[in-house]
Amino acid sequence: MSDIKKVVLAYSGGLDTSVIVRWLQDTYNCEVVTFTADIGQGEEVAPARAKAEALGVKEIYIEDLREEFVRDYVFPMFRANTVYEGEYLLGTSIARPLIAKRLIDIANETGADAISHGATGKGNDQVRFELGAYALKPGVKVIAPWREWDLNSREKLLQYCDERNIPVEKKKGKSPYSMDANLLHISYEGINLEDPWAEAEEEMWRWSVSPETAPDKPTYVELTYKKGDIVAVDGQEMKAHEVLETLNKVAGANGIGRLDIVENRYVGMKSRGCYETPGGTIMLRAHRAIESITLDREVAHLKDSIMPRYAEVIYNGYWWSPEREALQALIDQTQAYVNGTVRLKLYKGNVDVVGRKSDDSLFDEKIATFEEDQGAYDQKDAEGFIKLNALRLRIAAGKGRKL
């Protein structure tokens, strides 16, 4: 007999997690608590309550986490200009720590013995959920049905539903892709995308128009920063999630944010995926622009040097780790003077920085000018500077060493 009496399940109300509710009840003879998070996935989460109730669930958590998600996870990540393998803006990765945190919180509140998720045994999400859970509650039991059952196809899942009278929608014309969405991005995997040579179908994209059909007139947008975070768009103050919602709309309308990559998963395989990150694409470009005038050179270069490591930490699921916290402390310290405004021009898939200003700017026009600088910079100083920096090169060359 199982010693698991109550399980908290990350529940979407879709086919997989609806099956998991009944499978947990049947396999472990336990009570199931469902947790549904609204992190801006663009789908109504309220119906999840009725679906859970129909499955006999008594404790149902449905939470709007959009502001917490952007404020406490997305924004801190963008302070580092984070990009995984040179392209991916980590839209899926950054949502998992918050979900893991709430799963553990709810387990503690309800006295549950275990948590459960619907991530498959091939992907990164199982790692991210579980690393977070173990970091926050070391002794927690994790149940991952996809690593235990033999229901390894949509047909088998639907058959399971029919046999047990599980109410699920069998939608016709639904996207065939495996998708994950939140306020930062939407991802697409599977079907023809499993061939790296096959071009993604235009009909697949949900959040953006194609650059070819984007408006012929550019759109200008101004972003105001305070300590590295956007606090206003076009002069209008907004909460964190409102900023991202606004930028998603304006960027998507201009064909911005599409990405098609093959990435290296933490579990070892390569995976081809397509992503739409319209607002995030703007945020990355704008943040680098405001840093370009407010950050000290060596600080900026130090940030750039640790960014790949920081990105890897998040991608691999180590948000709740001492190394991420240490990196975050350094990154956040650098943002004290990252204040000001960036002006961008959006046009047919492109994001161009056309202006930046800040009261904390380190850009000195008197020194940088090509005109008369009135003694602000003594060009004769460059001679000694160059000779000293060339000293080791001159010594080695004098010894006849070849490069």
Choosing from 178, 292, 321, 361, the catalytic residue is 178
Residue 66 is among the residues annotated as catalytic for this protein: no
- 22, 96, 285, 356: which one is catalytic? 96
Q: Which residues are annotated as a binding site?
A: 10-18, 37, 88, 93, 118, 120, 124-125, 128, 178, 187, 263, 275
Q: Give the chain's length.
A: 403
Is 96 one of the catalytic residues?
Answer: yes
| Catalytic-residue membership of 180 | no
Single-letter residue type at 116? S
State the first-to-last Cα distance of the chain, in angstroms, to the nearest integer: 71
Q: 3-state DSSP call for residue 63?
A: strand
What amino acid is encoded at 28 in this protein?
Y
Q: At 188, which helix (H) or strand (E)?
A: strand 186-189
Q: How many CB atoms lie within 10 A of CB 383?
A: 9
Query: 16, 38, 113, 229: which one is catalytic?
Result: 16
Q: Which of the 8 DSSP states describes residue 98?
A: H
Of the residues 22, 125, 356, 358, which is catalytic?
A: 125
Q: Which parts are annotated binding residues for ATP? A: 10-18, 37, 118
Residue with token string 């990355």:
284
The Cα–Cα gap between 90 and 80 comes to 12
H helices of 196-348, in order, are: 240-252, 278-294, 297-315, 322-333
157 touches 15 (CB < 8 A): yes
Give the annotated binding-site residues for L-citrulline.
88, 93, 124, 128, 178, 187, 263, 275
Instruction: Tell me whether residue 178 is one of the annotated catalytic residues.
Output: yes
CA-CA-CA-CA dihedral for 68, 15, 118, 12, to nearest 10: 10
* Binding-site residue ranges for L-aspartate: 120, 124-125
- Would you please indicate which residues are annotated as catalytic (active-site) residues? 16, 96, 125, 178
